[in-house]
Amino acid sequence: MRIKEVIVVEGKNDTNKIKQAVEADTIETNGSAINKTTLQLIRHANEKRGVIVFTDPDYPGQQIRHIIDQAVPGCKHAFLPKKEALASSVNKSVGIEHASHKAIQHALKHIYELTNEEVVENNITKADLIHHGLVGGAESRMRRERLGDYLHIGYTNGKQLLRRLHMFQIEKDELNAAMLHILKEENERA
């Protein structure tokens, strides 16, 4: 699988893993130490070939993603579910470098493009999130994780979820279908 865009990752181990899974060029941010020079390189790559931001599914990865999104509007984003990026049950390290080739390929097939333009009006409301148990309940965090995995939009906390759904232009019908699938899985496990 060949990726046309340049993939932005956090470090050398991520680059090595990406190159084992797909044919692609990468830019490394050196973790959260991302600097102006790296941002300029990302901006240039985005103008020439496009960029896919593919950071670790943890807080520092989200911070790096946010910094890049603010500095370089129009980047595409790929998300890896946290469960796909765990080193092992003993070592709780999380990162792209721990993911399988299949998980990386799957994430790169489901990319989204965010824009810093005004978010298109969406028909999903906070009441919908409450109705689906995505906020304010004992199972909310787990459901948001499953929803982020199912829709390939990454995990968010309750406050960020509505914004993320709007940003990715997820419609109410798509949310309802995803939640139907998630609730069906929950019932099968019980």
pLDDT band at 169 (very low <50, low <70, confident <90, very high): confident
Give the pLDDT score at 118.
Answer: 45
Same domain, 99 and 133: no
The range of the structural domain enclosing residue 182 comes to 126-189
Q: Output 187 or 26, whichever has higher pLDDT.
A: 26
37 lies in the same domain as 100: yes
Residue 121 lies in a domain: no
Looking at per-residue confidence, does 84 or 132 come out higher? 132
Distance of CA 150 to CAs 16, 79, 91, Å? 26, 11, 25
pTM beyond 0.75: the answer is: no
Query: Residue 89: pLDDT band by 50, 70, 90 thresholds?
Result: low
Longest pairwise C-alpha distance within the chain: 51
- Kindly state whether residues 80 and 145 are assigned to the same domain: no
Q: What is the pLDDT of residues 19-70, one digit of tens each?
A: 999 999 999 998 888 999 999 999 999 999 999 999 998 889 989 998 998 8
Residue 150 and residue 87 in one domain: no
pLDDT band at 90 (very low <50, low <70, confident <90, very high): low
User: Same domain for 142 and 90?
Assistant: no
Q: Read off the pLDDT of residues 154-165 as tens digits, 9 standing for 90 and up.
A: 888 888 899 888
> 2-24, pLDDT tens digit by residue?
999 999 999 999 999 999 999 99
Of 113, 144, 165, which residue is a domain's last? 113
Residue 10 CB contacts under 8 Å (≥ 6 apart), including other chains: 28, 29, 30, 31, 55, 56, 60, 61, 64, 95, 96
Between residues 78 and 82, which one has the greater pLDDT?
Answer: 78
Residues 49 and 109 in one domain: yes
Categorise residue 154: left if φ over 0, alpha if ψ from -120 to 50, beta otherwise: left
Residue 120 lies in a domain: no
User: According to the model, what pLDDT value does residue 20 have?
Assistant: 95
Which of residues 88, 113, 138 is at a domain's end? 113
Asked whether residue 79 falls in the same domain as residue 142, the answer is: no
Q: Is residue 30 part of a domain?
A: yes
For residue 151, being part of any structural domain is answered with yes
pLDDT value for 68: 93
Do 71 and 141 share a domain, yes or no? no
The count of structural domains within the chain is: 2
For residues 133 and 75, membership in a common domain is answered with no
Residue 167 lies in a domain: yes
